[in-house]
């Protein structure tokens, strides 16, 4: 049975106090906490078999290699990738997107071509494309966002057209919370012969994601948002697409044979993993995937719908709070960004004094904040270990903060 109170026991950090109060960690969209099983996997690696992978004939190197490759298989199973050939370990979502920008996009975009993102992208699914489209003489186009915070698909067939070569879309917005209809956008992209990429930083940790069903060409996500350590992430790509791509980084292990004047490339996925990989954190990611699979991704999603509904209702009942994005929990991921009359940074600092961790600022989604006329927002984001009691604590903290700043604002 899915019980956040039981799950919490696996996360040592959740029993600490912050500024004298029990920690209420509501900054999961930035990074998640780690269960004891993941921490233990790192200790085990460094204490028992730490050795470079794919290089040694000795026992420990083979043990490390086996576990590293087992982690790749676990990731492939999680996202329903047909084979491990398409699972490339990188540092994070940002690196995965930059890999595609610096390989597929620079090889395939030319003058007059178009590429499409949405208006709600995280900077990491925008800034790399600004550079490659400018260099190629291509145009970067945007699927617009409605005032309600969903994608306006009435322009889908004009924004994505015969000139479009690549479409890259955030699956769940880390600011609006919106879950985007990636299957529908993918179909349209493929209809015009474009490739389709998904920024899964906020979806893969929180809901079932099936790359085979979606038929996307690329999917990027980060381990640290799904209970694994920072510094390990994944680029999934269709092997047939990878076969046509130039390697990104060049050096050891991505080659088959090397002469003084040229080299040939290793098989997939090693061709895209130059140098010693972050095998310890990849192995820990495999354990995080085990943990999530044991909970069941459907249950993870269901929990976030429930806690999201509770939070939307509780925050919605506060007159001073304006929630950004869709109003229905079913249409959004487990996070809520909001504004009040108090500056989000002041709010965040006040709540921290009560042990409540939220994120404040533009959450690396500056253009969408600008479009909504907002300089900054406060954001509470949830995960499997958050409880309705914690939502109540957040609401109590917010009320206290608003009363405090309200009364102080009256004073000169």
**Residue 124 lies near ligand 7TS (rule: CB under 6 A):** yes
Among 54, 72, 122, 238, binds ligand 7TS (CB under 6 A): 122
Q: DSSP label at 55?
A: T
Counting contacts by CB under 6 A, is residue 109 touching ligand 7TS?
no
Output 204 or 402, the one with its CB closest to ligand 7TS. 204
Query: In the annotation, is 186 catalytic?
Result: no
Taking CB atoms, the residue at the shortest distance from ligand 7TS is 174
Decide if residue 93 touches ligand 7TS (CB under 6 A).
yes
Residue 118 lies near ligand 7TS (rule: CB under 6 A): no
- Type and span of the H or E element at 195: strand 195-199
| Environment class of 386 (CB within 10 Å of its CB; exposed 0-12, middle 13-18, buried 19+) | buried
Contact between 92 and ligand 7TS per CB under 6 A: yes
User: Which of residues 124 and 340 has its CB atom nearest to ligand 7TS in the complex?
Assistant: 124
User: Pairing relation of β-strands 87-90 and 233-237?
Assistant: antiparallel
Cβ atoms of 87 and 75 closer than 8 Å: yes
CA distance linking residue 222 with residue 200, whole number of Å: 8
Q: What is the DSSP string of 14-25?
A: GG-EETTEE-EE
CB of 149 to ligand 7TS, least distance (A): 14
- Unique residue bearing structure tokens 């996997």: 41
Which lies closer to ligand 7TS via its Cβ, residue 173 or residue 387? 173
Ranges of beta strands (E only) in 289-358 are 322-324, 335-339, 356-357
Choose the catalytic residue: 45, 186, 216, 364. 364
Output 62 or 364, the one with its CB closest to ligand 7TS.
364
- Torsion, Cα 367 116 175 38, to 10 degrees, reads -130
Query: What are the percentages of helix, strand and coil residues in the chain, rounded to 5?
Result: 45, 20, 35
Binding-site size, ligand 7TS (CB under 6 A):
17
Per-residue x/- mask for ligand 7TS, residues 184 to 203, rule CB under 6 A?
---------------x-xx-
Alpha helices in 322-387 (DSSP H): 344-353, 366-371
Q: From the CB of 24, what's the least distance to ligand 7TS, in Å?
A: 17
Site map 37..76 versus ligand 7TS, x via CB under 6 A: ----------------------------------------
For residues 140 and 192, which CB has a smaller minimum distance to ligand 7TS in the complex?
A: 140
Of 223, 276, 287, 278, the residue nearest 253 (C-alpha): 276
Instruction: Out of 132, 170, 182, 329, point to the residue binding ligand 7TS (CB under 6 A).
Output: 170
Interatomic CA distance for residues 364 and 393, integer angstroms: 27
Only one of the segments 53-61, 91-99, 250-258, 280-288 lies at the binding site for ligand 7TS (rule: CB under 6 A); that segment is 91-99
Q: What amino acid positions are annotated as catalytic residues?
A: 364
The footprint of ligand 7TS (CB under 6 A) covers: 29-30, 92-94, 122, 124-125, 170, 174, 199, 201-202, 222, 359, 363-364
């Amino acid at each position: 049975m899915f019980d956040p109170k039981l799950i919490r026991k696996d996360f040592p950090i959740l029993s600490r106090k912050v500024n004298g109060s029990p920690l209420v960690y509501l900054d999961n969209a930035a990074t998640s906490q780690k269960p004891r099983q993941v921490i233990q996997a790192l200790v085990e690696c460094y204490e028992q078999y730490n050795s470079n992978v794919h290089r040694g004939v000795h026992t420990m190197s083979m043990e490390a290699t086996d576990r590293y490759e087992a982690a790749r298989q676990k990731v492939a199973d999680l996202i329903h990738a047909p084979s491990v050939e398409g699972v490339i370990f990188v540092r994070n979502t940002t690196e995965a997107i930059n890999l595609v920008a610096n390989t597929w996009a620079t090889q395939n975009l030319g003058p007059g071509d178009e590429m499409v993102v949405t208006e709600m992208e995280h900077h990491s699914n925008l800034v790399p494309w600004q550079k490659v489209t400018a260099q190629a003489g291509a145009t970067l186009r945007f699927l617009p966002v409605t005032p309600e915070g969903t994608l306006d698909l009435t322009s889908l067939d004009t924004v994505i057209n015969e000139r479009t070569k690549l479409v890259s879309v955030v699956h769940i917005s880390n600011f609006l919370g919106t879950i985007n209809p990636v299957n529908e956008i993918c179909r349209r992209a493929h209809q015009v012969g474009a490739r389709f990429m998904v920024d899964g930083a906020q979806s893969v940790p929180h809901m079932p994601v099936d790359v085979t069903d979606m038929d996307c060409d690329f999917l990027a996500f980060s381990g640290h948002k799904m209970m694994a350590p920072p510094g390990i992430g994944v680029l999934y790509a269709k092997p047939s697409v990878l076969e046509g791509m130039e390697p990104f980084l060049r050096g050891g292990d991505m080659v088959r044979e090397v002469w003084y004047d040229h080299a040939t490339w290793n098989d997939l996925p090693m061709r895209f993993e130059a140098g010693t990989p972050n095998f310890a954190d990849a192995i820990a990611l495999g354990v995080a995937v085990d943990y999530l699979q044991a909970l069941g991704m459907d249950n993870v999603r269901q929990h976030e719908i429930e806690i999201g509904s509770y939070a939307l209702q509780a925050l919605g009942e506060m007159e001073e709070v304006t929630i950004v994005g869709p109003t229905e929990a079913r249409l959004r991921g487990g996070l809520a960004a909001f504004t009040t009359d108090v500056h989000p940074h002041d709010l965040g600092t006040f709540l921290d004094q009560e042990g409540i961790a939220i994120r404040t600022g533009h959450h690396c989604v500056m253009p969408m904040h600008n479009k909504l006329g907002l300089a900054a927002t406060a954001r509470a984001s949830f995960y499997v270990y958050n409880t309705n009691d914690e939502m109540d604590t957040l609401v109590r903290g917010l009320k206290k903060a608003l009363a405090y700043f309200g009364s102080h604002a009256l004073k000169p």
